[in-house]
Structure 1
Amino acid sequence: MILCLGPTPALQRVMRFARLQTQAVNRALETLDGIAGKAVNVAKVLRTLGETPLLTGFIGGETGRRLEAGLAQCGLRQEWVRVPAPTRQCITVVDMASGGVTELVEESRPVPAEAYDRLWDVVKTRLPQCRALIISGTLTPGAPTDFYARCVAAARQQGLLTVVDTQRDALRATLAARPTLVKPNRQELEALLEQPLPDAPAVARAMRHLQDQGAEAVLVTAGSGPALLSAEGRLWQLRPPAIAALNPIGSGDSLTAAMVSRRLRGEDWPEACRWGVAAGAANALTWMPGELEMPDLERLLAQAEVTAWEPPS
C-alpha cells in the first residue's frame, strides 16, 4: 500500500458560471459535487494508476460521513480518526467567460489533542504494510508542529519513500527527519524562507538550502510554468505540456501521485517527474480534482519535457 496522510480532507463542489460578477446574483450553469482535499486527490490518482492507496486523517460530522461514503463508492481504502469537528467543504468557482478559477477554501477546525495520538497509532500500525508515505496538506489549528516529522522519521526507519507537501512550520520541522522529497510551490518556499525568490537561480539556491537542512530531493512547482527538481546533486527543469486548462485545482496532487508511482516502479527522478507533470496537466482537463483520465495522461506524457538545468552564472 501507499499511505496517504492528510488531516484535512474536504467535500468538493465545482460550480460553473457563464460570466461571474461580484456583488450580483450569479446562477450556475452546472454544479458538481465530489470528494477532495490534497491527500484524497493523491489517493484518487494513485488508484487510477493501478496503485493501492490507504487514506488516513480526520473526519467528522455529516460531511465526514458523506466523504467516507464517497470514498467507499470509489473503492478507496480508508482508516479515519473521527473527531467532533465536521469535515470541511471547499468550493471551486469557474468563470467560463474568462476561464478564471477561484477556490473558496473552508479552513479546518481544531481537533482534540488526543486525536493526534490516535492518528499516530494508525500511522505506526500501517507503515510496515506500506511502500511509501505521502503527506499532503496542512495540519489542523493548534496541532503539534512536529507531527509530520515524527511520521517521516517512522517511515524512514521502515525504509519507505517519503514525500512531504505542506507549508511553513510543519514543513520546516520535517527536514531534520530527512524526507525523500519535499514539494513546495514557489510561494510556499518564499513563505518558508521568509524572503522573495525573484528568479530561477534564487529558487535553486533555496532548494539547495532545504537539502542542506535534510531533504534528499526538492521539487518546486510553479503552476502551469516550469517546475525545478533538485536531486542527487543535479538540477532539472520540468516543462508541462501546453493545454487549455478547465480546472487546475489538484494538479499538484496529481503530480505527486504519478511521481511516487513511477519511483516505486524503478524510474529515476527525472522520468518519474516527467510522468508527474503530465499527470498534473491531465488533471487540469477535468472539472473535479484528482479524477484524470488515463488516455489524457498517456497523450500528454509525450509532450512533457525534462531537461538538465544549470543556473545562469
Structure 2
Amino acid sequence: MIVTVTLNAAIDRTLTVPNFQRGQRHRASAGVTLAGGKGINVARALKTLGVPVVATGLVGGATGTRIVEELTAEAILNDFVRIEGESRTSTAVVDPAGGTYTEINEWGPAVGEAELEILLDKLRYLTQGAELVVFAGSLPRDVADDFYAEAARELTRRHVPVVLDTEGEPLRLGVEVEPFLVSPNQAEAEALVGQEFHDDEDFRLALDQIAEMGPRNVLITTEDGCVALLREERDSRESRSFRAVAPQVEPVSTVGSGDALLAAYLAARHAGRTHEESLRSAVATGAASTLEIGAGRFDPRHAGRLQAGVALSALDAVEA
C-alpha cells in the first residue's frame, strides 16, 4: 500500500475554451471537475496503474466534502482529516486552438496546530505496514516550512520510505531528512541548487548536488521527460544517472503530467522493474497524460504504446 498526502487539496475545474481571449465572454466547449492537489493526482494515477493506494490530507467546508465525494466516485480509497477552513477551488481554461493554459488558484485555508496533530496521528495509523508515503504539493497558510521534514523524519525512523514532491523552503528542509526520493520539476530544482540548467552537464551536476543534500534518489521532471540519479542504497557510492525523453505527442493539457510520471515510476519500482524500465514507463505515462484533460488521468494503453518511443540515455560526466 502506498499512502499519498495532500495538505492543500482542491476541487479542480478545467474548462475547454477555443480561441480564449481576456476581457471577452466565452462558452466552454467542455468541462471537467476533479478532486485535485498533487498528492491526489498521484493517487489517481497509481489507482489507474493498479497499485493499492490510499489518499489522505486535509479538507474542509463544502468544498472539502466535494473533494471526498469526487474521490469516492472514482473508487480512490481516502481518509482525510476534516478542518475548520474551506478547501480551495482551482479554475483552469484550456485553449486548444491557441495552445494556451490559464490557471487561477485560491490560496486555500489556514490550518491550526491541533488539526495538523490529528493528521500526524492519522499518518501514524495509515502508514503501519505502508510500503511508501508520498508528500506532494504546497503547504497551506500558517503551516511551518519544516512540516514535511519533521513528518518525514518520524516516518524514516520507523523505516517507512518517503517521497517528497514540493518546492521552495519545504523542499530544501525536506531533502536534509534523507528521503527515499525527491521529485522536483526543473524550475524547483534550479531554485534548490541556485542556478539554471542549460545542458546535460548542468543536469548531471545538479543531480549530484541534490543527492549530496540527503535524498537517496533524485528525479527531476522536465518539459520533455525527466533526468534522474538512482542508487540501490542511500550510502552507496555507486549511482546511475539518466535522461529520459518522451516521444512527440500533440498535448491537450500538460497539467499534472509530472504527477502521472512520478506515479508511474513508483508503480514500476513497486512491481520490481529495473531503473531503466521504470523510467521508460514513467515518461511514457507522463506523455500519455498530456493527451487528456484532468491531472493524473491517462489511458494505460496509450502509455504502453508510447514506451517504445522513449529515448533513454546515461548522463555521464564530461571528461576534461
Tell me which interval the TM-score lies in, with the shorter structure as reference length.
over 0.9
Do the aligned residues in 1 keep the contact of 2:193 with 2:210 (CA within 8 Å)? no
CA distance in 1, matches of 2:206, 2:215: 12
CA distance in 1, matches of 2:247, 2:105: 28
Deviates more, 1:233-242 or 1:100-109: 100-109
CA distance in 2, matches of 1:200, 1:23: 42
Do the aligned residues in 1 keep the contact of 2:10 with 2:35 (CA within 8 Å)? yes
Shift of 1:214: 0.6
CA distance in 2, matches of 1:311, 1:15: 45
Question: 1:162 is matched with which residue?
Answer: 162
Shift of 1:137: 0.3
Question: 1:308 is matched with which residue?
Answer: 314
Question: 2:64 is matched with which residue?
Answer: 64
1:210-259 CA-partner distances (Å, limit 9, x unpaired)? 11111111111112x24211123221111112111111111111011111
Do the aligned residues in 2 keep the contact of 1:200 with 1:311 (CA within 8 Å)? no
Residue 261 in structure 1 maps to residue 267 in structure 2:
yes
Do the aligned residues in 1 keep the contact of 2:47 with 2:53 (CA within 8 Å)? yes
Question: 1:243 is matched with which residue?
Answer: 249
Do the aligned residues in 1 keep the contact of 2:46 with 2:263 (CA within 8 Å)? yes
The gaps in structure 1 that reach 5 residues or longer are none
CA distance in 2, matches of 1:34, 1:295: 22
Identity percentage over the alignment? 29
CA distance in 2, matches of 1:152, 1:262: 23
Q: How does 1:1-313 map to 2 (within 5 A)?
A: 1-223=1-223, 225-232=224-231, 233-313=239-319
CA distance in 1, matches of 2:315, 2:89: 40
Shift of 1:119: 0.9
Per the normalisation by structure 2, the TM-score is 0.93
1:268-294 CA-partner distances (Å, limit 9, x unpaired)? 323212111111111111111212112
1:194-213 CA-partner distances (Å, limit 9, x unpaired)? 33333332232222111111
- SS class of match (2:309): coil
CA distance in 1, matches of 2:225, 2:307: 15
Do the aligned residues in 1 keep the contact of 2:3 with 2:54 (CA within 8 Å)? yes
Question: 2:234 is matched with which residue?
Answer: none
Shift of 1:311: 4.5
Query: Which letter maps to 1:287?
Result: I
The gaps in structure 2 that reach 5 residues or longer are 232-238
CA distance in 1, matches of 2:240, 2:291: 31
Per the normalisation by structure 1, the TM-score is 0.95
Alpha-carbon RMSD across the aligned residues, in angstroms, is 1.5
Do the aligned residues in 1 keep the contact of 2:193 with 2:209 (CA within 8 Å)? no
